[in-house]
A and B are shown apart, each in its own frame.
Chain A
Amino acid sequence: MSAAAVEIRVGLGSCGVASGGEPVRDALEQAARRLGARNAVKSVGCNGMCYREPMVEVVGRDGRVTLYGNVRPETAAGIVRRHLRRRRWFQRDDDPAGDPPPNFAKQKRIVLENCGEIDPLNLDDYLARDGYRALALCRAERTPEQVIAAISDSGLRGRGGAGFPTSRKWAMGRAQADPVKYVICNGDEGDPGAFMDRLVLESDPHRVLEGLAIAAYAVGASEAYLYIRAEYPLAVERVRVAIRQAADRGLLGGLPTEVREGAGAFVCGEETALIQSLEGKRGMPKLRPPYPVERGFRGHPTVINNVETLATVPWIIRHGPGAYAALGTPASPGTKVFSLAGKINRGGLIEVAMGITIREVVEVIGGGIRNGRRFKAVQLGGPSGGCIPAWLADTPIDYEALAQTGTIMGSGGLVVLDDRDCMVDIARFFLKFTQVESCGKCTFCRIGTKRMLEILERLCAGQGRAGDLEKLETLADHVSRASLCGLGQTAPNPVLTTLRYFRDEYEAHLHERRCPAGRCPALIRYRVTDDCIGCTLCAQACPVGAIAYKPYEKHAVDDALCTRCDMCRQACQDDAIEVL
């Protein structure tokens, strides 16, 4: 067997690059070239295990997968030697040992099936994995109505957040008499804390294009667009290359496909605002009806689907709707991709069948809370979602069960919080976000969120007034009822859910002027305990000179100078600085 049969995959999504993946790839390539295996190293996307980046995965001659996490350029040569050298007895002791292969037992990977395994910029890689077969199948053997029926049987619901049945949207688009129709892929993933669309677009762009082309075929669209946010330069670049590759081989069947970049407005994830943005205007949502499927982009029927929805479509066509419907729960079939982030050990992207509980996601797949702290809550659905407390962690993940807790599935951002996170601060954070991102069209969204934010900032500063919590609830009700689009309607959700589940924290801020989690700067003080050994690390770390430099003595924090930046506590090796 030749040495070229070994495949060394290095993950180069944005997270891989951020962790220093490029020098690792160069080192791997250099080492491989020296051993005469020119093409052994392959740049792939991310397989979702972002916490281990930069990561190298080696598929050996026997097909066995070995995984190396946190690779540095210095250790890269050892990996190559270990797998490419034929004379095994010649192995050196300092060659790094592999970690166990990725454990995806709890996951069901449909959207992510190729992520981290194929080179996103190599069309042949995608074709070798049945790529574009679903599209060919649709074009050759199925009428558009049959395609829509298949999606309908699979029960696929829009993965952008609202969960609208995809087949109904397509059927409505199909039914329009207008000869000019558009399909748009919504890649404006503005939700802070979510990155599944970025990862799919970066790691498997052809899959999204295939889904988009199938949608265009089903709807009868004449043009296709991908609207991707500008904060994802790598995704934009890779999709552009993928479109060119697919068009050169004639795979898109002459469907004009174009990428448009967003310009940094969260509200443009909303369908009507997205259309406004594509038309070059301010991204302000419009009254519906008319829905975009009736009158959308340039006044023509427009079907807009999320990246993840479209990436699921080819799998459904290839494996049949029954296989997809068999996954998940009856009301929410299939799988959902979640981005795990926050205070969790194994952050990254996961794909699970619907119906799995939050606890399984956090504790089994995510590996529990970082630094052995206590699991407090998960924030789901970003600024439109809410917080689910740890005592409700056995809630199954499906659209209906989550709606009962007051949150939403959202696009799938799942941020785990521990006991050091203040829920009032989290609510303030999200409200600040929606307040800034509000387009300003509806008065309640524009001014109501501002008033709510003022109350929350008052609470965090320890200046809450009697009746603030009740006023917060009234305003929340008004904002959600008097706003036009999803942004305003759901903006109060983070506040409402934290008020519902963590009212005691709000009351501590209001009545006792105390932050139970020790987070709000105005309400905390730092104190050096008797464990201090006088090492002066804290004094060196303090950027404002609030800790006097006293070697071998117990240090003290000057409250008047202290800015509560937390650097001393992080610098202390003996945990001798506590938050009061």
Chain B
Amino acid sequence: MSARRGAWIAGSVAALCVVMLFADYIVAARRKTKDDAIITAARLARKKRDNAVAWVLIGAGVAFVSCAKRIGGSKPPGPPRDVRESGRLKAGCSQDWLPNAGFVDDAVARLGRSKEAAIPLLQAIQGHYHYLPDEALRRVCELTEITPAEIAGTSSFYARFRRSPVGKHVVRVCHGTACHVSGARQITDELRRYLAIPEGADTDPARMFTLDEVACLGCCSLAPVLMVDGHPAGKLTPATACEALRESA
């Protein structure tokens, strides 16, 4: 991979420059000369040399960053915070923040380009990004027969799909019949209080937990039930529900 090699070379050059600057500084600090004139001349020479090294360092730094960016698969830059809850796709030019954008292409290649693939595609995208980023949906429309109107309609119809980013962990609190009569409301209220989730939001300020109320998790005889990232926990009280969250965090 050429980007990787470039990053290595540029990184080595940058490191070398840093070492040279440091060495120069240490040598200069150690040099003990009584003659002021010699010191001035030596100083000037050093300054000139260091300037050149610093320019090389800046150049190497730029080269390193641009190469490293192209490698990909490293830590993804976060999506912008203003992704809207609304079901509408935002119009306008493409923002190039979507991490690992090739995923959508792979998913389309795997699941097909027909209109029928809409739900499996959305599921795959949500499974990967934990929500449906606008960019990914636009890419789906570009690659498949699915129109933006259709994808907006489908993605807003089903409860499982969400259009805004989630916290690190997703907590699904069951609100089925059995859980309702066993106190699911109290558990949700207590968790909201415990996580300090503001009114109208579903994620705590630290973006650690997203609280989701779901219709039924199908573990009715263990009611009330919640699921943290796919791990179910049953026979809860408000106190043990908070404990279940602490364990997973």
Contact = CB atoms under 8 A, between A and B. Distances in A.
Interface stretch (B17-25, B179-187, B199-207): B179-187
B89 interface: no
Nearest to A202: B218
Contact of A341 (B117, B150, B178, B193): B178
A263 B159 contact: yes
A379 B215 contact: no
A454 interface: no
A415 B160 CA distance: 25
A192 B216 contact: yes
A534 interface: no
A567 B190 contact: yes
Interface stretch (B51-59, B100-108, B119-127): B119-127
B146 A280 contact: yes
B8 interface: no
A48 to B, nearest CB: 9
A563 interface: yes
A226 B213 CA distance: 26
B158 A15 contact: no
Q: What is the size category of the interface that chain B forms with chain A?
A: 35 or more
Interface string A245-264: 00000000000000011111
Interface string B93-117: 0000000000000000000001111
Given A279-B115, A280-B115, A280-B154, A263 B178 contact: no
Nearest to B144: A280
A339 interface: yes
B220 A347 contact: yes
B10 interface: no
B76 interface: no
Contacts of B217: 14, 231
B72 interface: no
A348 B115 CA distance: 40
A523 to B, nearest CB: 15
Interface in A392-444: 413, 415, 417, 421, 426, 429-430, 433, 437, 439
B122 A340 contact: no
A17 B239 CA distance: 21
Given A264-B159, A341-B177, A193 B216 contact: yes
B219 A195 contact: yes
B220 A193 contact: yes
B230 interface: yes
A29 to B, nearest CB: 20
Given A263-B158, A341-B220, A429-B177, A233 B230 contact: yes
Nearest to B180: A429
Given A263-B158, A565-B186, A421 B181 contact: yes
Contacts of B150: 280-281
A342 B215 contact: no
B220 A264 contact: no
B186 to A, nearest CB: 5
Contacts of B161: 263-264
A433 B215 contact: yes
A4 to B, nearest CB: 32
Interface residues of A, number: 61
A299 interface: no
A182 interface: no
Nearest to B220: A341
Contacts of B114: 280
Given A339-B220, A421-B181, A565-B190, A190 B234 contact: no
B243 interface: no
B190 A283 contact: no
A18 interface: yes
A354 B183 CA distance: 32
A529 interface: no
B232 A17 contact: yes
A351 interface: no
B176 interface: yes
A342 B116 contact: no
A260 B118 CA distance: 12
Contact of B234 (A15, A262, A281, A563): A15
A413 B221 CA distance: 11
Given A280-B154, A282-B153, A567-B190, A15 B177 contact: no
Given A15-B219, A230-B160, A265-B158, 15 more contacts: A14-B217, A14-B219, A15-B222, A18-B232, A50-B220, A189-B218, A195-B216, A231-B216, A263-B119, A341-B220, A426-B181, A429-B177, A543-B193, A544-B193, A565-B189
Interface of A: 14-15, 17-19, 50-51, 53, 189-195, 198, 230-233, 260-266, 277-283, 339-343, 347-348, 379, 382, 413, 415, 417, 421, 426, 429-430, 433, 437, 439, 541, 543-544, 563, 565-567, 570
Closest 6 CB pairs of A and B: A347-B221, A280-B118, A193-B177, A341-B220, A192-B176, A18-B232
Interface of B: 114-120, 122-123, 146, 150, 153-154, 157-161, 175-178, 180-183, 186, 189-190, 193-194, 214-223, 225, 230-235, 237-239
